[in-house]
Every structure is written in structure tokens, then in C-alpha cells.
Structure 1
Amino acid sequence: MKSRLLATTTVIALMTSACTTMEDTEMASLPQTVEYNPTIPQATSIFAELSPLYMHAPQFDQIADGEWQGIIEEAIAIQLAEMDAIASNPNAPDMGNTLVAMERSGQVFSRSYGAFSQIVGANINDTIAATDEALAPQIAAMNDSIYLNADLFARVKTIYDNRAAMAMTPEDAMLLETVYAQFVHRGAELGAEPQAELRQINERLSSLSSQISQAITTGQNEAAILVDTREELAGLSDGQITSAAAAATEAGHDGKFMLSVSNTTGVPTLAQLHNRDVRERLHNASVNRNQSGETSTLPMVREAIALRNRRAQLFGEPTHANWQMYDRMVSDPALAIGFMTDMVPALRATQEREAAVLQARIEQDGEDFQLAPWDWEYYAGIVRQERYALDNEEIKQYFVVDRVLEDGVFYMAGELYGLTFEKRSDIPTYHPDVSVYTVFHDGEAIALFYFDPMSRPSKRGGAWMSNFVEQSHLLGLRPVVTNTQNIAPPAPGEPALATWDDVGTMFHEFGHALHGIFADQQYPSISGTNTARDWVEFPSQFHENFAAVPEVLQRYARHHETGEVIPDELIEAIDRSSKFNQGHGFGEVIAASLLDMEWHSLDPSQPAPTDVMAFEGEALERIGLRSDLVPPRYRTPYFRHIFEHGYDAGYYAYTWTEMLHHDAYSYVEANGGMTREMGDRIVSTFLGQGHSKTYEQMFRDFTGRDPRVEPLLQARGLMAEGE
């Protein structure tokens, strides 16, 4: 057994002069400390110590799939032993022997689970899926054992109750506020009986989260449709058709063509396919997935909603949303709902206006059918091209994935922040598609960055950033971060090309990465991206703006065959068309955001809905948008964000932070644009601040004001310039 000193014992420094003595009674009144060296189980896995690789990158090549469960179960046991040792410390609680000790704990778990969770999302197989499902309730039980540990909470509460008399740094104070709030939120003040029920609820919810996520991934893969002839794929490029043929062959349907759905309701190829019947089949496959058969999530969704409502009851909260939003920038569900519903009338009017335009374009072709959801993006593409000379397939030819990253994203980071990047070949990864870069800041190596861009069946949909190593001065760790996307893979022998949406996502996810790379905090739990849901998307969305800065765009937007820089007319077309089709683009997001709030604003004293799809239909009717033509970005059965990612009662965050980023970027435009001086201000006010300050303070530190909604409305075309 290895012994490790978990707590920093209190040291009383007695400042005395040569002629000063201290009476025995005074000595007796001082706090006394005893030596405390608890024995902690020693880890035996490869994660027992920091990785010997550069910046402690995970040793993915040293772990077999079947080893992960044992590794993480051991890490859970060590984490619990560490926390029990802190709770049992005989010395009076203080920041060092309690809060700081807690920050030092759990390193074996953090190292192992950070690596494993990325494999679950980006390279899952049957063994990994089974391991994830087995571990989910154990991790929930671990968290409950920590937050429901009465002795541990008593120590935290003692420090919290005496905080006014303590000398603390601002980061110390924020850590204390955050940890105390987490304990209360997780049930530390509940009685024994409700705590016991809470443990059962949390374990079951964690199992459901894993099962729902895996079902969504499988459902997305199985929703792909087969097309018999090449002629039915008219409108797709030769490369897309070749990829569709290869996908069908790989699935055992040689001679046919396979079209996949995306993680969202909308499928990009709907904008290209001339054949209306194929469009309808593809749309229906997307919107109806996960509603029947082995991939149905409906029973699990019903149970998850009921359990969340019961948990809200245990805490005496009026809704799950009230319980969930305790630590947000917007902590009142009514404010989040009102923020979105205030935009519904203008957005509904935009949808009606755009639908009329598309219907007129259908009739212009001599067709007599009514606009349907599978027609919207196709005819929007035609109108976009006619009005703005914008052809998405033509634009795509200018966006080679690696060039967008290295000549676009990295160039922006260099101009704004003084970052440079060096590709490495000595760091093992979990899949051959992954690249690794050392990140330098003004010549000093400060981070590692992993990039995993292409979609594959083993990867869940969407895009995300995560940490393999969290920055912490306390632990002496620098950040190791990863960006994961789902860009359509090219046909064999062809370059990997990105859509304009893919490009925006690359800048978005790299904004998350920068939030982690520039983390400069003492404590890991409030470092970098460890912030509220309705703040963490602000730095990422903020950096999307730089994708269209002409100086940046002209560096990376070069034709994959000729090397020609993207013509000015195409750049102008992108800009002119940015407000077009907002009825669809913004409408699907607001519908999904309000659908999330509908599910999580239920009265927990009433039975949860038993018919998931009926409730969804009624909710969309209440929301008041044209969801018959523009379905929500995610329908309930495959709304992964709110059943796995922790965005329940939080999907509004994307729109809230969109407001923040448009207003913040207006400050950039008014104050010199993309300069090192501006970059230094960004880092010093919010990008490098983690959760060391309040979110409101960080925004005011950057802009000098509270956020305004007008720049968002103008950018979305819902309010005229100057209105």
C-alpha cells in the first residue's frame, strides 16, 4: 500500500520579537494539529502515475478495450478512499486540508475517465459500449457517495460559514462558493430517507443516459436509406455518389447507394437531391428514428423525465429546470423561456414569409405540390443560388479540411493570440484519423491539441471539445485538449472537403479548445471550460466570427485543384445570404430549445407524460412556430444533448451565448478588429479566466457593459440595422 498525504496541515506561524514571550494559556488557545497520513489504495493501472508522454498525453496504445472497466473501477475506489480520508481528518477544517485536498484528489480517475469517455464518443465498439453501460451507475454512485458524505459536507460547511473571517484569494472564494453550492445541489442537506432515494434515482438516470446515447448512435446508423439507381441521386456530386456506393457496398448492398442521416433532424443532402421521393424518404428516416424496434428510446425517455421530476420533488423545486439551472448565468427558467418566446412572433412571421417565397419558387417550376419539410432546404438552396449566386457545392471546393485548420483556424489563433502549432508524430492516438499538435504561445509550449475531423460509424454525431488533461497550477498540469467533428469523409483518392457549416464548426470547437488552452487557474474544478452551460458556449461561438474575416478567409479558402483563392463574389454571396433562411436555421434551434424547456418545466407532482410523441406534438403546438415545415433541430427520441450531455433545461444556452457573442464581437469590430492587443484583452477578461469570476463580471470586463440582444436580432435578420 502506498501512503499519500492528502491534506495540507494547518501551520501556525508565530511572529515574535526578541523581547516577546507567549504565556502557556495563550499557547493552549491556539488551534492544534496532529499528523495525519491516511493510507490510500495504490493504483496498479497505466494511469497510476502521470503519463511519461509529452505533457502527459494518454497512452492509448497501451490499453486494450477489455481493460478499461477494471482500470476505472480501481480509479473509483481510489477516489472514494481519498475523499473518505479528507472527511475523516481529525484536524479542524480549513481551505488546505479540505477544499485544496479535494482538488488534489481523483487524479487517477480524471486521467483514466477523460481518455475513456473520448473513446466512447469517438471510437465505440461493443466492448466499449458494454463497459460504458456498466460504469455509468458506478460513477453516479461515486458522485453521490462524495456529495452525500455528511462528514465531508460538514467540513465544507464549516469553512463556508466562517468565510467572512478568512483571508482568501478571489479564486479561493470562488472555489468555496462553487463547491458548497454543488454539495447543496446534490442533496447534502436532505434527510437520510430522501438521500437514499436520490442515490437510486441518480444511478438509474446515469444508466439511462448511457443506454439512450448508444441507442441514438445505433438509430442514426440504421436510419440510412438505400437507393437503387444513380439517376435517383441527381444533384449530388460525383464524389458524394461514389461515397454513397462505397457505403452501400460496405453494408453488404453492392450495386446500391446508401444515404446517411445526420445527428440533427436536417440532413445536408436534402438541399441537393432533385428527386422528391428520395428527399421524402430521407427526411422521414431522419425524423422517425429511435421511435420503434430495438433502437427506440421512448420508454427510456419516459422514465428519465419521471425520475428527473421526482428528484425535483425531493428538493422541493417547482420543476426540474429550477433544480438544474442553479449555477447558470440565467438561473431562473422563466427568464430563459421569456428570452426565447419574445422572439417567436418575429420568427414565425419570418417562417411564413420564407415559406411563401419557396412555394412561389415551386410553382415557378410548374409543380402543383405544397411545400413540405423535405422540400424546404432544397428550394431554399435554389433561391439562395438565384438571389445570391451562392452554390454550396461550389463553395465546398475551396475548403480542404486540413487547410481550413492549419491556414485558417491556426492563422487566426496566431494573429490574435500569438499561438503557433507543430504537428507531432510521436503521440499515440485512439484512431488513425486523429492528428496531434503542440501549441506554442509566443514560442513557449503550453498545450497539446488533438483533432479528429471525419465521421465514421464508431463515432457519435455532432462535434465537441474535451480535455484529456485539465490545466491546474496546483497540480502542475498544462492542458491537453481535443476537438472532434463529423465531416463527411471523401471518396477514395479525393481530398476531404468541408461545407461552410463545417468550417464554422471548426472555428466554434476551436473556440472551446482555446478556452481550455488559455486556462490559467490554480484549481482544476474551476479551470478553463469548467463553467456553466450558458457561458461555456460563448467563447466557442465568439470565435466563429473570425471564419469570415477576409484576411483569414483568403488564407485558407483555396480551391483544392487550382489553389485559387476564393473569389470575392463568393465571399460577398456568403455575406449577403447570411440572413436568408433564418426561418429554418434559427427556427429549428428555438423550437428545440423551447421543446427542452417544455419537457423540464413539468409539474413534478403530476404524472409524467406516457406518450412521448403526443406530448412533443402538443408542446410544439404551444411553442407556436411552423414546426410542421421546420421540425426542431432535434426531436425528443434523438435529443442527445438533453439526455446525455447535461444540456437538459440548458439547450437555450446556444441562443443565449449567441446573444453574448454577437454583442462581444461588435466590440471587437468597433475597437480595431483582429489584433494582438485585442487578443490579449480577450484572454485577460474572459478566455483565460475559467470560472474564477462571475460570468456577468467577465462579460462587463471585456465590453464595459451588460449584454445587449440587438446585435443578435440584427445578425439573424429579425431586426433592421439601427432599429
Structure 2
Amino acid sequence: MRGALRKTVVVAAAALAVAGAVSQPAPANPLLSPSKLPLQYPPFDQIRDSDFAPALDQGMAEQLAEVQAIADNPAPPSFENTIVALEQSGRTLARSATVLFSLLGADSNPARLKLQAEYAAKLAAHRDAVSLNPRLFARIQALHAQRKQLGLDTEGLRLLERYQRNFVRAGAQLGEAQQARIKAINAELATLAARFNQQVLAEVNDSALVVDSAAELAGLSPAQLADAAAAAKARGLGDGKYLIALLNTTGQPALAQLENRALRERLYQASAARGSRGNAQDSTASVARTAALRAERAQLLGYATHADYVLEEETAKSSATVMGLLRQLAPAAVAAAKREAGELQALIDAEQAARHEPSFKLAAWDWAFYAEKLRAAKYGFDESQLKPYLELKNVLENGVFYAAGQLYGLTFKQRHDLPVYHPSVTVYDVFNADGSQLAIFVADMYARPSKRGGAWANAYVPQSRLLGTLPVIANHLNVPPPAAGQPTLLSWDEVNTLFHEFGHALHGMFSNVRYPSFAGTAVPRDFVEYPSQVNEMWADWPSVLAHYARHHQSGEPMPRALLDKVVAAKAFNQGFATTEYLSATILDQRWHQLKPAEVPAARDVMAFEAQVLKNEGVDFAPVPPRYRTPYFSHIMGGYAVGYYAYLWSEVLDANTVEWFKAHGGLKRENGDAFRAALLSRGGSEDAMTLFGKLTGHGPQLQPLLQRRGLVLMKP
């Protein structure tokens, strides 16, 4: 394949030269070989959009040839010539797909979106061609049958068992007709997922709120007004216009500040209606069709529902376990939210009475605004007091990095010589305490129209002793960019998100496994959030907070009294936060607990959503789901059936925070123990075994309840 491709390129270039169109050969495709930059960091400045298609095509062809050679090997199957060979296969494809799909999330453009649409089904078919290769599966089965006699170490045995299970779960044991249907379903699902992601991105941009005057935006700071004016100008709306860009969550940050209630309602409604407006970006048909196909595939593979299929591989193991936890917590969360709503309503009534104006009933678009007022009344501070002390670069380098230095002995050095895909991206070398390089860290903090919503981490290069690679890990946030010359001041939620995502980065950077299948965050979905949530604990750890919470102009530390108020307010508004999360989590579970015969009744997506929320007792209008179904990207991607993972992981996290505190908190001994026992192991050992080895016990619910200020309802 490589020779044929080179020949094609040479012939084409020669033809163009004869026509006078070129004077030199086209540059080589940088995706076809490992990057020569440090740690195989991607050469973003050399990669053209036109490189992706030939690299993906060649990568698929190469891997199919490698897989067929393994399957046709006349030698008896061995761990080395079958399993290890599979781990080493597909390097060109992995490299090319990783860069493309990372950029689709971080910096999409029409050419990349077109590639996503064109290659979604092709890549799904390629995966099926590997996992449904009968001769290859026969070799894996033969090794699996004699696995106890192979003398494998723990990681090798686990890898063999993983391959056998993955092939079975892909349909390797099904008949020919069933496999054909599985292939068709996988191809259609991949196409639907690509379409959904593009609809969500387009809709969040199209739904941005246009405001005609600064007076309507009372409550925003001068810097925020300048940002809104700049955003409007960038959209070509002209002078005197303002634009409030949306995040992908139902709630929007500006709702906490806007004094104009009518504008708050407009903003909320614009956000909540996304994806269900009957326009070209309406994603409800994609959701309904996806639910139907997943249910059908699960039944073909021998499972009652898609939820059963997915949860078999998670630490929770079953829908009954997950729903048991959610239904245990939901009544307590809703009760707490209703108590909070009562306090907010009392505040509204008192405020309106003081103005001699009629009161109004608390609505979803009022909650954040009056919660901030209540926070100020109860604890003596609001978000606007915190922000001057929370400048982005300072939080990252003197907070996030500082905590990692105290815990793990890490040091960081920004480098300016490596190419980036957007000017706002920064890159750091990461060094161990002994001075050896651990990783490269990419920080992509700012929102932009080409970037999907939310926050996430990804590995451009995963660690593997087999492949001889060290990690290149990226964190992505969606912090609104400031106006030119202005500082980037974070909200407290954004600070927590920064610490959270860096927890994922640590999980990837500390990976010390042999096989790439187990690298970094390649753990069960309901375990992957656990280390990142643990890392949030350092955001308000007194010595860490004091190190980074400094005024962006004067450098003065945040007053001790304000620090104490931040810590005291941790349980504030947790009824709201828990309820909005649980309602979204329950939607995820119920969509995927549908059996094929039940799917037609759910084709009216919004009616199904409303009925689920009512049936599960979380239909409290002032607290809508954090994500409504039409823009719930988690359930159309890798977090399908797995959105509960944040809560499940928080149980483990709360237990681990107690372990850290019991052992002295922020000190190297604790960080080194956490790194050795858990962060370095990736997926090479059973997740709950790793947790138990660290804490000395199984997960306990009480620390989570105490953290969130919840009391379980008596049966």
C-alpha cells in the first residue's frame, strides 16, 4: 500500500509539473510516520486537512494487512505472535485518527467536519473487519482456552482476557447473518453520532443571544460587556450589538448576573430549546434512531438492553445497581432543592415587596441569579468578589501545577518552540522529581465557535513500554476569552474544572504500563472520573489556595476571611447541583434501558424525556436537567449509559479524600502512594482492587452525603 501511494503521488506531481502548476514535489504527509518532534508531539504546523483522508485510508489498509498476517500465520498461536502483534498493529491509523478527532473537538472546520461525516461509517466498518475476522478470533480463543498454562504475568493475562471478551462482545461468536446486521448497525450509529455532534456544535453557535443595548445587560461587568460587544462584532452584527455565547449545558453563566428578568428568560429558553426546534439542527430524530439501533444490537448480542451490555464492563456491573443508587439519592436531592427553592422564593418575595412590586414564582432562569444573592447574604461573598483573585495562568501555574509539585515532585516548563493548532494553546514540558521528562502537557483553555462545549482531556500520544512512548496529554476547557489586553478571570466552578481536568492529565501522564490498551485513562467509564475528582480537593486546600488566589493587579493574597467563606460555602446549593445532575443521569439510563419493542413509544423524544423525569420524581421545574436530551453529547458518545460515572466516582473520591486527610493531606508520601497504587496502573489491574489497595476498604456512601449536605430519606 505504501509503495502504491508513493507511486501515485509521484505521478500526480509530475503531471502537474508538466502543466506548469507546480515547481516541486508536494510535501510529504506527516501523518504517515511518527513525528520527529519530542515525545512524538504532533507537527500541527505541517498537517494539512488534505493529509487526513490518505493517511486514514493507508492506515486502515496497513492494519488490515497486519491483522490478516496475524490470522494467517502458519505458526501455532502464541501470546507474542497474536496478542502482542495486535497491540503493535494499526499505528498509522491510530496516529491519524487521534489527531483528526482531537481537532474535531478542539478546532473543527468545514473540511474536518466533512471528513468526520465521510469516515464515520468507514472507520466503524474497519473496526468490524478486525473484530469479526474468524481466523483471528480462532487464534485468540485458542490462547484464551489455555491462558493459565501460558505463564503470563498479570498484565499479559489481563490483556489476553480483554481481547477475547472484546471480540465476543463485538459479535465474533454470532452467525454470518447476525454479523452482517451488526456491521450495518455500527456503520449507521457512527454516522448518527457524527451528525449529532455537528448539529450540537452548530446549534450552540446559532442559538447565541443577540442583545440590542448595554442597558439590558445590567449586572455584567465592564469587561464582560466588552467581551459581548467584541463577540457581536466578530459575528458581523455591527456596533451597538452584544452577543452572549452559549455553553452546552442547560444553565448559562450569565444567568447568575443578569438583572433583567426578561432577558434571563430569553437566554434560558434559547439554551433549553436547542436541538428540538424543528430546524436543520434538530437532533431528536438522531437520538431516537440511535436508541433503537443500540437496543437492537444489544439484543442480537444476547443482552436485554443496551444498558445491560455497557454496564457489564463497568464496576457497577448492572442497571439495578446504578438505578438503586440514583433512586436512593434522588428523593434527598430533590427535597434539598425544594428547601433551597423556598429560601430563594422568600428572597424574591422580600425584594419585590421592598420595591412595592408584585412578586413572581421562582423559575429556572431565576435560580442562579437569586442563589448568588443568597450566597452573599449567607456567607458574605459572591462570585464577583472571587474572580479578581482567580486569573487563569496564575491558577494553572501557581495552583494546579503547584499542588502537583507538592504531591508528586513534578515541575513544569512552558515551551514556545512546539507548534500549536490555535494561538491560545500553551505547551509545557513535565518533569519528574529526578529531572527526567515525564510528559508533554497541552493546555487549551478558551472557548471558540470551532470548539465543542464542555471540558475534557485526551492523549495525543499514550504511554506504552511496548511502543517506547511517553505521554502527550491535553486538557480542554471552554473559558470565555477576554477582550484584548484584559485578564482571564475565572469563576470558582471554572477553577474546580481546571483542577478536575488536570486529574485526568495526571492519570495519563503517570501511566506506567506495557501495553497501549491499558494506558492512562483506559479504565472502566465509571472509574475514569475518580482520580480527576480527587484532584479537585486541592483547589481549596488552604496552602494551595493561598499560593494561587492572588489579586491579578496588586498581587495581594485573597483575604483569609474570604478564603474561609469559600470553604464554608462548599455545601451551598448542593440540592440544585445534585438534582440537575441526577435528572440528566436518569435520562441517560432510561434511554438505554429501552428494549426494542419499547423504542417506538419513545420516538417523541421530548415527551419521553418529560415522562421519565416525572416517573422518577425529578421533574422539578426550577431545576431542569443539566443536559436535555437533544444536546446531551455524553449519551451519543463514549459516555452512553455512563453519565452516572461522575456520581459513582464521587463516592470513591469522597472516600479517598478522607484517606488523604487521615494521612496528613498534601505531602509527597501521599502523592507517591496514590501514584504508585493507582494513577500509574491504568487499566492493567481491576479498578476496584486498586481502590481497595489504596484505601484499605470498599466504597462507603457516607462521606459523599456529608460533602453534599444530603440526608437520605427513610424508607
Pairwise TM-score range, normalised by the shorter structure: over 0.9
The code of the aligned residue for 2:682 comes to G
The code of the aligned residue for 2:312 comes to Y
Deviations 1:169-219 (A, max 9, x none): 000011112111111111111111110000000011001101100110111
The code of the aligned residue for 1:162 comes to Q
Matched-pair contact (CA < 8 Å) for 1:313–1:605: no
SS at structure 2 position matched to 1:397: helix
The code of the aligned residue for 2:45 comes to D
Superposition deviation, residue 326 in structure 1: 2.2
SS at structure 2 position matched to 1:78: helix
Matched-pair contact (CA < 8 Å) for 1:385–1:391: yes
Q: Distance in 1 between matches of 2:654 and 2:514?
A: 30
Residue 415 of structure 1 is matched in structure 2 by 406
**Structure 2 residue 601 is matched with structure 1 residue 615:** no
Residue 121 of structure 2 is matched in structure 1 by 137
Q: Distance in 2 between matches of 1:178 and 1:504?
A: 34
**Structure 2 residue 319 is matched with structure 1 residue 327:** no
Q: Distance in 2 between matches of 1:525 and 1:56?
A: 18
Residue 683 of structure 2 is matched in structure 1 by 691
Matched-pair contact (CA < 8 Å) for 2:220–2:257: yes
Superposition deviation, residue 472 in structure 1: 0.5
The code of the aligned residue for 1:102 comes to L
SS at structure 1 position matched to 2:30: coil
**Structure 2 residue 455 is matched with structure 1 residue 463:** yes
Q: Distance in 2 between matches of 1:160 and 1:605?
A: 36
SS at structure 1 position matched to 2:539: helix
Q: Among 631, 642, 646, which residue is 1:654 paired with?
A: 646
Matched-pair contact (CA < 8 Å) for 1:93–1:159: yes
Residue 490 of structure 1 is matched in structure 2 by 482
Superposition deviation, residue 109 in structure 1: 1.3
Superposition deviation, residue 302 in structure 1: 1.2
The code of the aligned residue for 2:518 comes to I
Q: Distance in 1 between matches of 2:317 and 2:474?
A: 29
Residue 401 of structure 1 is matched in structure 2 by 392
Report the CA distance shift for 1:492/1:486 in structure 2 as closer, same or farther (over 3 A): same
The code of the aligned residue for 1:98 comes to T
**Structure 2 residue 702 is matched with structure 1 residue 704:** no
Deviates more, 1:84-93 or 1:611-620: 84-93
Q: Among 370, 386, 390, which residue is 2:361 paired with?
A: 370
Q: Distance in 2 between matches of 1:279 and 1:412?
A: 38
Q: Distance in 1 between matches of 2:559 and 2:430?
A: 31
SS at structure 2 position matched to 1:439: strand
Matched-pair contact (CA < 8 Å) for 1:416–1:674: yes
Deviations 1:279-327 (A, max 9, x none): 0000000000111211110111111111111111211211110011221
SS at structure 2 position matched to 1:342: helix
1:72-471 equivalences in 2 (<5 Å): 72-254=56-238, 255-291=240-276, 292-365=278-351, 366=353, 367-442=358-433, 443-471=435-463
Superposition deviation, residue 2 in structure 1: 7.3
Q: Distance in 2 between matches of 1:347 and 1:521?
A: 40
Superposition deviation, residue 65 in structure 1: 1.7
SS at structure 2 position matched to 1:47: helix
Residue 17 of structure 2 is matched in structure 1 by none
Q: Among 535, 546, 556, which residue is 1:543 paired with?
A: 535
Residue 15 of structure 1 is matched in structure 2 by none
**Structure 2 residue 614 is matched with structure 1 residue 631:** no
Matched-pair contact (CA < 8 Å) for 1:474–1:523: yes
Deviations 1:428-450 (A, max 9, x none): 11111111111100111121110
Residue 518 of structure 1 is matched in structure 2 by 510
Matched-pair contact (CA < 8 Å) for 2:288–2:603: yes
**Structure 2 residue 707 is matched with structure 1 residue 715:** yes
Matched-pair contact (CA < 8 Å) for 1:591–1:627: no
The code of the aligned residue for 2:292 comes to A
Superposition deviation, residue 606 in structure 1: 3.2
SS at structure 2 position matched to 1:602: coil
Residue 9 of structure 1 is matched in structure 2 by none
The code of the aligned residue for 1:275 comes to N
Q: Distance in 2 between matches of 1:478 and 1:670?
A: 33
SS at structure 2 position matched to 1:361: helix
1:536-685 equivalences in 2 (<5 Å): 536-608=528-600, 609-644=602-637, 646-685=638-677
Q: Distance in 1 between matches of 2:2 and 2:113?
A: 33
Q: Distance in 2 between matches of 1:81 and 1:469?
A: 23
The code of the aligned residue for 1:109 comes to L
Q: Distance in 2 between matches of 1:78 and 1:393?
A: 55
Q: Distance in 2 between matches of 1:457 and 1:213?
A: 13
Matched-pair contact (CA < 8 Å) for 1:318–1:604: no
Superposition deviation, residue 45 in structure 1: 3.3
Deviations 1:399-452 (A, max 9, x none): 111111111111111110011011111111111111111110011112111000
Matched-pair contact (CA < 8 Å) for 2:203–2:275: yes
Superposition deviation, residue 346 in structure 1: 1.0
The code of the aligned residue for 2:256 comes to A
Superposition deviation, residue 150 in structure 1: 0.8
Deviations 1:489-530 (A, max 9, x none): 112210111111111111111100000100000000011111
Superposition deviation, residue 626 in structure 1: 4.1
SS at structure 2 position matched to 1:681: helix
Between the two proteins, what is the percent identity of the paired residues?
43
Deviations 1:134-169 (A, max 9, x none): 111111111111111111111111111111212010
Matched-pair contact (CA < 8 Å) for 2:2–2:58: no
Q: Which runs of 5+ in 1 are unaligned?
A: 4-43
Instruction: Report runs of 4+ in structure 1 exceeding 4 Å deviation.
Output: none
Matched-pair contact (CA < 8 Å) for 1:587–1:630: yes
**Structure 2 residue 51 is matched with structure 1 residue 67:** yes
The code of the aligned residue for 1:215 comes to Q
Matched-pair contact (CA < 8 Å) for 2:336–2:576: no
Matched-pair contact (CA < 8 Å) for 1:312–1:604: no
Q: Distance in 2 between matches of 1:181 and 1:433?
A: 42
Superposition deviation, residue 71 in structure 1: 1.6
The code of the aligned residue for 2:264 comes to R
Q: Distance in 2 between matches of 1:91 and 1:389?
A: 74
SS at structure 1 position matched to 2:478: strand
Matched-pair contact (CA < 8 Å) for 1:351–1:626: no
Deviations 1:521-542 (A, max 9, x none): 0000011111110011111111
Q: Distance in 2 between matches of 1:2 and 1:117?
A: 23
Q: Distance in 2 between matches of 1:165 and 1:173?
A: 10
Superposition deviation, residue 678 in structure 1: 0.4
The code of the aligned residue for 1:665 comes to V
Q: Which runs of 5+ in 2 are unaligned?
A: 4-27
Q: Distance in 2 between matches of 1:213 and 1:2?
A: 33
Superposition deviation, residue 379 in structure 1: 0.6
Query: Over the residues paired in the alignment, what is the CA RMSD in angstroms?
Result: 1.3
Report the CA distance shift for 1:76/1:249 in structure 2 as closer, same or farther (over 3 A): same
Superposition deviation, residue 362 in structure 1: 0.4
Q: Distance in 2 between matches of 1:158 and 1:429?
A: 46
Q: Distance in 2 between matches of 1:105 and 1:627?
A: 51
TM-score (norm 1): 0.93
